[in-house]
Chain A
Amino acid sequence: MPLSRFVATFFDLDVATAYAPQIFLGLVTTIAIGVAIVITGLTVGLALAVVRALRIRSVNIVLIQIVDILRALPPLVIILIIYFGLPNVGIVIPSAVVLWMSLSAVLAAFAEEVYWAGITSIPIGQWMAARSTGLTFLQTLREVILPQALRLAIPPLTNRTISITKNTALGSAIGVNEILGQSISAEAFSANATPLTMAAVLYVLLFIPLVIASRSLERRYGVRRR
């Protein structure tokens, strides 16, 4: 295929400028939802790990099952069930909220596992020392265990966070105005693939810094204990 035609199809500047505002709206939406997912998911995940540390057997059994289910289900399935199912039982939620809820739940589940692995890898001597000086369970957790555990949790957490927030693209399947959704409709209207190129470029620009950051974090904090 002649190069000029290739460029015209994928890199048409006129199409790009015409649809830039629309795509930009998509960018803002993607970033907003992404940030919301990260904040909610990581916070709820930490709360779940703390609850798990309390070692209340009945609560933990339920917690672990829910976490496993969220880890096993494809996010798109969760999104579709909530998006199509809830209106039929009378609960109407905007699609962006559905996207945020679903992906936050998934991130919380994976994050809980990472936090828990961090907490349990702290030697029991740290618990013994802190408790033997009269610190309560929660004080020990907050002052001694979590500071150390969170440091261990950073590399795997960044990885998981990146792969789950990339799923914001799934919002296009339920009509969220994020980058992919906007670019697909722009592509349809313009009969040109340039919006798709723009979407791809934007995503890569968004996430490459995160991927590189996670690589350097891994190098700094990663302790391979084998």
Chain B
Amino acid sequence: METLIQEFFNVSIMVRVAPLILSGLVETLLLCLILIPIGLIGGLGAMLLATRENRFVRGAALASIDFFRAFPPLVLLIFIYSGLPFAGLHIPAIFAICVAFLLNSSSYYGEIYRAGVLSVSRGQIDAGRSTGLTATQTFVYITLPQGVRNVMPELLSNTVELVKLTTLASVISAPELLHSADLARSLTYNSSPLVLAAIIYLVLLWPVVRIIRRLENKLGPQAGL
């Protein structure tokens, strides 16, 4: 027991490495501030392409979405980061991260938006058009708001995944929370910095997970008897 606390919950080490960890946290938050909007907007674009009437545009969009859903984000990141220098392109890590995450999260967000848009009943669109709204207006004022509300749990859930995905940046030694924590671990030969990082992730994400749970529960628990 004693050794467990020493190894994982060593408070004095945690205090010592706190500044390093906190700077990593700031980096992670900045990353999220960039990546989440990029993902949300990219996903919107992917969804718009995937719901076009034109079969070729739609088909190409769906194929790309499936392609990037199948592509592990870490592999994509390393491919872009390590591979491109071979092609003579030297890009900063942050750029590689943004491109990889844009491709990956647009696919996932796009898929979620698409499910949301498809979940809005035809009757709603009919009602909008029958009162003189154009197709675009109907989409913007009627379909989109309802569609987004219908998939809010999934959108939140995917955003949580995106935040968790930032830890991949540590593999290419980009500055972020886990990377700082791992650095601290190698300097102190102790796992407590990692546990500290875990606690910070929990503080950030656990409340959101609980909100998602509450949103999903709106349909009501019924088992028992």
Contacts and interface: CB of A to CB of B under 8 A. Distances in A.
A and B in contact, CB less than 8 Å? yes
Interface of A: 1, 5-6, 9-10, 53, 55, 68-69, 71-78, 80-81, 84-85, 88-90, 113, 117, 119-124, 127-128, 131, 137, 140, 145, 162-163, 166-170, 172-173, 179-180, 184, 187, 192-193, 196-197, 199-200, 203-204, 206-208, 210-212, 215, 224-226
B79 interface: yes
Nearest to B85: A193
Nearest to A131: B225
Contacts of B170: 76
Interface core residue of B69, B197, B224 (most chain A CB under 10 Å): B69
Given A72-B201, A124-B225, A203-B71, A184 B78 contact: yes
A169 B74 contact: yes
A159 B71 CA distance: 14
A55 B224 contact: yes
> Secondary structure of the B side of the interface?
helix
A4 to B, nearest CB: 12
B31 interface: no
Contacts of A199: 75, 79
A9 B82 CA distance: 12
Interface residues of B, number: 61
Nearest to A123: B222
A170 B182 CA distance: 15
Given A6-B87, A55-B223, A203-B72, 14 more contacts: A53-B223, A72-B160, A73-B198, A74-B201, A75-B164, A80-B178, A85-B191, A88-B190, A122-B223, A172-B74, A184-B78, A200-B75, A200-B79, A224-B150
A204 B70 contact: yes
B222 to A, nearest CB: 5
A78 B198 CA distance: 8
Contacts of A84: 185, 191, 194
Contacts of A166: 72-73
